[in-house]
Amino acid sequence: MNLKKTRFFIHDSVDIPARQRGVNRCYIAYGKAIIDAYPGQVSIYTNRANNPKGAKIIYSPFIWVRFRRIRYRINRLDNLFGAFLADRSSDVYYSPFYGSMRTKIPQVFSAHDMIFEKYPQYFPRSKASVRKHIQEKKGCFERAALIICNSRNTAKDILEIYPIISKDKVQVVHLGIEDLFFRSSETANENKPYFLYVGNRDHYKNFLRFLDAFGKTGLKKRFDLHIITPTKNDFSVDEKEIIRQHGLAENIRVEYSISDEELKKRYTGARAFVYPSEYEGFGFPVVEALASGTLVLTSNTSCLPEVGGTAPLYFDPYSSDAIADMLKIAGQMTDSERQERILSGKNWSKQFTWKNSQQAFIHAMQELLNEV
């Protein structure tokens, strides 16, 4: 296939951009990379108003309800219409987040994690939406010409769960983080040193065990706990009970959906960033914290040692005692020891730029096109 004449059809399959932070950034970064590599040859099938510049924007079908145009997606008509357009006008289909659109042209998908398949206790298949997601993802993998995985661990999980999939069509392209996390910035003004937690608090994120571990350490006399989460939700019954048991009510500060600029300040100002997740596909916050210049404590599972390197302190996320021990070590660490790890983390994180990720993505795409 002539690379210069290749036409791309990008399917904006991101359901909720505000909540799917990593997936959404993948769509924006890789969409821009394709547009830059193949100018004038890219169509984007979407419903959102803001998209990468330089592509032909095609909106999915819409209906009129009470004189208002209501677009709808992820349904039979949407997929049939999109597939018709893709087959008619393009040579390669790309989706940043799965989907049910079946085309005759080669399909490329970004794979972000296998959490639904590996942790059924958190995502029971008795739930229709879970079954649908798993089946949709499996279908994408089976018909894909190329699966671009965000970590070696995600690639390994896919091949273990679906051994019928050829490893030749699985490529690893690490994601990137925003440039601002690499830049120097002022820190947030705080009256007391703090440990920082970033992310959702439910299920595999393991917040309950971490909260209990912090309470056990007795570090509340010297440190607070700052929590940043994308959606505004009250503490659960279990969280409130742990806070009550350990008397942490005066030590906790919660912020919701802050800007990257503010997040950078929170990372930089923290005594340590703690990421106790049981499983991640990539783990943006770990790399962001390393680049921002803080000590990182994180789990020794899934992709986290892969993206964290040797700079973080690792613990067993299934043991609150192991988490507590690592918090104590971080709290007692000398400035020179801490700065040594921080410098190591900043140097390690430099490889995870969107520029590097985009270049690797286009290289993987071009290798596919050479084979078609």
CA dist list (Å): 348 to 42, 76, 198, 353: 34, 45, 20, 11
Average pLDDT over residues 68-87: 74
How open is the CA angle 188-190-195, to the nearest 5 degrees? 90
Q: Residue 4 pLDDT more than 70?
A: no
Q: Which pLDDT score, from 0 to 100, does residue 73 have?
A: 45
Structure tokens at 134: 């798993």
189 and 165 housed in the same domain: no
Q: Which pLDDT score, from 0 to 100, does residue 60 have?
A: 80
- What does the alpha-carbon distance between residue 317 and residue 207 come to, in Å, rounded to a whole number? 10
pLDDT band at residue 68 under the 50/70/90 scheme: low
Residue 84 contacts by C-beta under 8 Å, 6 or more apart in sequence? Answer: none
CA nearest to 353, candidates 183, 199, 182, 184: 182
140 and 211 housed in the same domain: no
292 and 188 housed in the same domain: yes
Q: Which pLDDT score, from 0 to 100, does residue 79 have?
A: 86
Distance of CA 310 to the CA centre of its chain: 21
CA nearest to 140, candidates 101, 92, 91: 101
Q: Which pLDDT score, from 0 to 100, does residue 5 have?
A: 80
Number of structural domains the chain divides into: 2
Average pLDDT over residues 246-257: 95
DSSP letters along 242-261, please? HHHHHT-GGGEEEEES--HH
CATH number for 307: 3.40.50.2000
- What does the alpha-carbon distance between residue 260 and residue 257 come to, in Å, rounded to a whole number? 9
> Would you call 20 helix, strand, or coil by DSSP?
coil
Structure tokens at 308: 């964290």
Residue 295 contacts by C-beta under 8 Å, 6 or more apart in sequence? Answer: 270, 271, 272, 273, 312, 313, 330, 333, 338, 341, 342, 345
Residue 57 contacts by C-beta under 8 Å, 6 or more apart in sequence? Answer: 43, 44, 46, 51
39 and 81 housed in the same domain: yes
Q: Which pLDDT score, from 0 to 100, does residue 83 have?
A: 95
pLDDT band at residue 66 under the 50/70/90 scheme: very low
314 and 336 housed in the same domain: yes
pLDDT > 90 in the chain, percent? 80
Mean pLDDT of all residues in the chain? 92
Q: What domain range is 341 assigned to?
A: 179-349
pLDDT tens for 95-146 read 999 989 999 999 999 999 999 999 999 998 888 989 999 999 999 999 999 9
The residue assigned the tokens 């971080």 is: 330
340 and 362 housed in the same domain: no
Q: Which pLDDT score, from 0 to 100, does residue 111 have?
A: 97
222 and 320 housed in the same domain: yes
Q: Residue 72 pLDDT more than 60?
A: no
- What does the alpha-carbon distance between residue 264 and residue 194 come to, in Å, rounded to a whole number? 15
Q: Number of H helices and number of E strands within the chain? A: 13, 15
pTM of this structure = 0.92
How open is the CA angle 27-33-39, to the nearest 5 degrees? 120
Q: Residue 31 pLDDT more than 80?
A: yes
- What does the alpha-carbon distance between residue 294 and residue 264 come to, in Å, rounded to a whole number? 10
pLDDT tens for 195-219 read 999 999 989 999 999 999 999 999 9
- What does the alpha-carbon distance between residue 123 and residue 131 come to, in Å, rounded to a whole number? 9
Q: Which pLDDT score, from 0 to 100, does residue 370 have?
A: 86
How open is the CA angle 23-206-252, to the nearest 5 degrees? 100
194 and 211 housed in the same domain: yes
Q: Which pLDDT score, from 0 to 100, does residue 324 have?
A: 98
360 and 253 housed in the same domain: no
66 and 193 housed in the same domain: no
Q: Residue 74 pLDDT more than 70?
A: no
Q: Which pLDDT score, from 0 to 100, does residue 75 have?
A: 63
> Would you call 302 helix, strand, or coil by DSSP?
coil
CA nearest to 343, candidates 302, 311, 305, 314: 311
267 and 365 housed in the same domain: no
252 and 288 housed in the same domain: yes
Structure tokens at 183: 């830049």
